[in-house]
């Protein structure tokens, strides 16, 4: 992926080449180097046994390539280093609450409390501060928290509008061309 990202061509061609490499990986691993690019495989070993024809015959190669189909389908995300995975987003919120290795998690329920706070933050978005404040103090938050929440809401709306104005291109092509 690093090689393809540094390649001197347009992004669509880079994505196409990356998909071709991903599609070729099982063949490369099991001894068929006929489709390997020079950067990918510089040793076309003659003494290495090629198991690919037998794997195609018994249907194992189709199974392996179907496992890689998700990678092929998301080649554009890999190339552009994007993610929209909810679990990864939640984990990033947890890492903010955990604070890295500086914390002492041996205190009773320390880590679980931080994960609960992270899930509340993830689910409530900008209303997180208001809901926590109301639960703790039994009254509405002050003007500073309200203005902060308003700014968060405005920036979220601006991002939403920006995404609608400039949508990302998605390629639907699976497999090598």
pLDDT (tens digit, 0 to 9) for every residue of the chain, 177 residues total? 678 878 888 888 888 888 888 888 888 888 888 888 888 787 666 678 888 899 899 988 888 888 888 878 877 777 777 666 777 777 777 877 777 666 666 677 777 887 888 888 888 776 777 788 888 888 888 888 888 888 888 998 898 898 888 877 665 555 554
| pLDDT score recorded for residue 102 | 64
* CA neighbours closer than 13 Å in the CB half-sphere of residue 18: 28
Spatial CA neighbour of 26 closest among 36, 16, 17: 36
| pLDDT score recorded for residue 175 | 52
| Residue 36 CB partners (closer than 8 Å, separation 6+) | 24, 28, 44
| pLDDT score recorded for residue 36 | 85
Chain length of the chain = 177
- ∠ CA 53-54-57, nearest 5°, is 90
What does the alpha-carbon distance between residue 176 and residue 174 come to, in Å, rounded to a whole number? 7
């Amino acid at each position: 992926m690093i090689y393809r990202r540094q390649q001197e061509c347009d992004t669509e061609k880079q994505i196409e080449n990356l998909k071709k490499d991903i599609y070729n990986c099982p063949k490369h691993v099991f001894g068929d180097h006929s489709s390997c690019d020079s950067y990918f495989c510089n040793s076309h070993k003659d003494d290495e046994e090629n198991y690919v024809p037998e794997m195609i015959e018994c249907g194992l190669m189709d199974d392996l390539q179907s496992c890689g189909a998700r990678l092929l389908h998301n080649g554009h995300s890999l190339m552009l280093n994007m993610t929209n995975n909810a679990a990864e987003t939640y984990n990033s919120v947890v890492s903010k609450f955990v604070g890295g290795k500086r914390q002492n998690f041996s205190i009773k329920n320390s880590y679980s409390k931080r994960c609960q706070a992270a899930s509340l933050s993830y689910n409530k978005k900008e209303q997180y501060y208001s809901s926590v404040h109301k639960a703790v103090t039994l009254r509405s938050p002050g003007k500073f928290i309200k203005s902060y929440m308003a700014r968060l809401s405005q920036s979220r709306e601006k991002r939403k509008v920006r995404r609608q104005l400039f949508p990302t291109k998605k390629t639907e092509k699976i497999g090598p061309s």
